[in-house]
A and B are shown apart, each in its own frame.
Chain A
Amino acid sequence: MRRAKAAVAPYLLALPAWIWFAIFFVVPIAAMASVSLTTGNILEGFQQTLSFSNYADAVGQYHVQLIRSLIYGGTATVIMLLLAYPVAYWIAFKGGRRKSMYLFLLLLPFFVSFVLRTISWGFLLADDGILFGPLKSAGLLPGDFHVLATDVAVIGGLTYNFLPFMVLPIYVALGRVDPRVIEAAYDLYASRWAAFRKVVLPLSLPGVFAGVLMTFVPATADPVNARVLGGTGNTMIGNIIQTEYMTNNDYPTASALSFTLMAVLLVGIFAYARSLGTENVLEAAAR
């Protein structure tokens, strides 16, 4: 009796989530795949023609924005990694009793809406805002100096918005490094630098991997920073997909673009996992 109950229990527990994932995740992705192969328009309806021309058209038309997004996302990720590693290192090894306070301070931005945070950067960087306004009137900056609507503003915004997602996984990985292993390196006459390069750094790579995964994907696909901080020359693929769906109602092109973006990101992630020697992406992400 109890055995039968125990056998049914996990299925009953999992069922609601399975239903939710099936109806609102698996089916929609399949629906989008189907829509990406149709032709037609919103007024006359879309016919399923199983044509891949949408993909060719979409990539042909928007490869500039697609490549730009990858460059922005990639650059922001590299900068985040360089900025985040020393912070994570210091908190993990030197934070002492104040570790949780430092982590709390790093997470403070998450208590402010993502959109609002980005707009606050717009305030700070405005052409005549509180940062550049006084400098300009003092003659320290030329009158036409501006940061908004440039590559720097958008990449800076992406870096700012996702930085904590890079710090946390690296911090967790570093926190798991056994201090005795580092002591052993010193006992074997390793210099500080050698101990770091040969012992600490390799042990922290799973954290680096998770951090890159958690920042590169959302940064590349983000439409908010480009819209708030960028100009017409900084449009990213996220903005294009939004416009194609919401303004142009061109669902086939938009679906094809979404899939292309996802495919490019997946290929990137797996290639990156390979190069790092991580056999299983799922496992690495679960750690």
Chain B
Amino acid sequence: MRGKFGDRLLHGYTWLIIAWLTAPIAVMIIFGFNDKKSKSNTSWQGFTFRWYRELFADSSLTEALVNSLQVAVVSTVLTTVIGTALGLALGRHRFRGQGTSNFLVFAAISTPELVMGASLLSLFVSGNTPRGVVTITVAHVLFSLSFVVVTVRARVVGLDPSMEEAARDLGAGTWTTFRLVTLPAIMPGVLAGAMLAFALSIDDYVVTSFVNGSTLTFPLWIMGAVKVGIPPQVNVMGTLIFGIGVAIAIANAIASRRRT
């Protein structure tokens, strides 16, 4: 009897935590429809679609969003290729430098973002490197690399090596075996790593704030506007990114359920 009551209590508690975690998302979505007249967007003043119509009215905000998307796409592609390669090497082979590789992967994940950003700035300052989209992309590849490696390595380790042996026994070369057997088998891990890399990139503020020079990304633009007031377009863009992300995640979940 006490057990049943305890379960009900925990069930309600879990929903309470979920409500707490999602409350700010609801606020973000709702205030994208706020017909605000004053400068601040913190009190409800009526419903409007105006900010959806005038989504790109602020050209600097639009530019920041475009920068963010560009950096996210380029860094995700680079990270996925480089990270998948190292993940394969670590999961499948024994070689010198394996321990060092594992250590670097762990060290890069556990280094505070702040320290990573600061050290990259030290490098770029000493090398007189002009800071902008390129340095931001380089930094984003660095901090998402380890996550892709870990995700792919986990998938590779769980793979049955006899499939690849069978392919080779049937006369397939190294590249053919990789393309037709290994890659399809590790694809879920690669895709998960790529999605993680994209999400980390588009969300990053701390590291980017060190290496951006005068270029602004979406999170940096928002932080810059905090003290003067966030325009409702930011809420709309956040809502759209949220909607697209959730749609992709749900589609992915449904697709993987069909496959199994």
Known: A113-B241, A120-B25, A258-B114. A10 touches B13 (CB 8 A): no
Asked if A25 contacts B104 (CB within 8 A), the reply is yes
Instruction: Please report the C-alpha to C-alpha distance between residue A242 and residue B260 in the assembled complex, in whole angstroms.
Output: 48
Q: Which of A14, A18, A113, A258 is within 8 Å of B202, CB to CB?
A: A113
- From known contacts A120-B24, A227-B226, A282-B102, infer whether A13 and B86 are also in contact, taking CB-CB under 8 Å: yes
Q: Which residues of B contact A76 (CB under 8 A)?
A: none
The reply to whether A128 and B238 contact each other, CB–CB distance below 8 Å, is no
B139 contacts A by Cβ under 8 Å: yes
A-facing residues in B115-160 (Cβ within 8 Å): 115-116, 118-123, 125-126, 138-139, 141-142, 145, 149
- Would A218 and B18 count as touching, CB distance under 8 A? no
Please determine whether B24 and A255 come into contact, CB atoms closer than 8 angstroms: no
| Residue A56 at the chain B interface, CB threshold 8 Å | no
Which B residues are in CB contact (< 8 Å) with A106?
A: 17-18, 21
Give the residues from 204 to 260 in chain B that come closer than 8 angstroms, CB to CB, to chain A.
205-206, 209-210, 218-219, 222-223, 226, 230, 234-235, 238, 241-242, 245-246, 249, 253
* B91 smallest CB distance to A (angstroms): 10
Interface residues of B in 57-89 (CB under 8 A from A): 81-83, 85-86, 88-89
Chain B residue nearest in CB terms to A83? B17
Which residue of B14, B28, B110, B114 is within 8 Å of A116 (Cβ)? Answer: B28
Is B33 in the interface zone, CB < 8 Å from A?
Answer: no
- Chain B residues with Cβ below 8 Å from A228 are 223, 226
Contact A111 B245 (CB under 8 A): yes
Q: Give the complex CA separation of A129 and B82 in angstroms.
A: 47
- Residues of A in contact with B, size category: 35 or more
Q: Please encode chain B, from 25 to 43, with 1 for each CB lying within 8 Å of some chain A CB and 0 for all others.
A: 1011001000000000111
Of B89, B205, B219, which contacts A14 at CB under 8 A?
B89
Known contacts A17-B85, A217-B110; decide if A31 and B246 are in contact (CB<8 Å): no
Tell me how far the C-beta of B228 lies from the nearest C-beta in chain A, rounded to whole angstroms.
Answer: 12
Compute how far the CA of A102 lies from the CA of B11 in the bound complex, rounded to whole angstroms. 11
Pick the contact of B42: A109, A128, A218 (CB < 8 A).
Answer: A128
**Cα–Cα, bound, A254→B138 (Å):** 22
Interface positions of B (Cβ within 8 A of A): 2-3, 7, 10-11, 13-14, 17-18, 20-25, 27-28, 31, 41-44, 81-83, 85-86, 88-90, 92-95, 97, 101-104, 106-116, 118-123, 125-126, 138-139, 141-142, 145, 149, 174, 199, 202-203, 205-206, 209-210, 218-219, 222-223, 226, 230, 234-235, 238, 241-242, 245-246, 249, 253
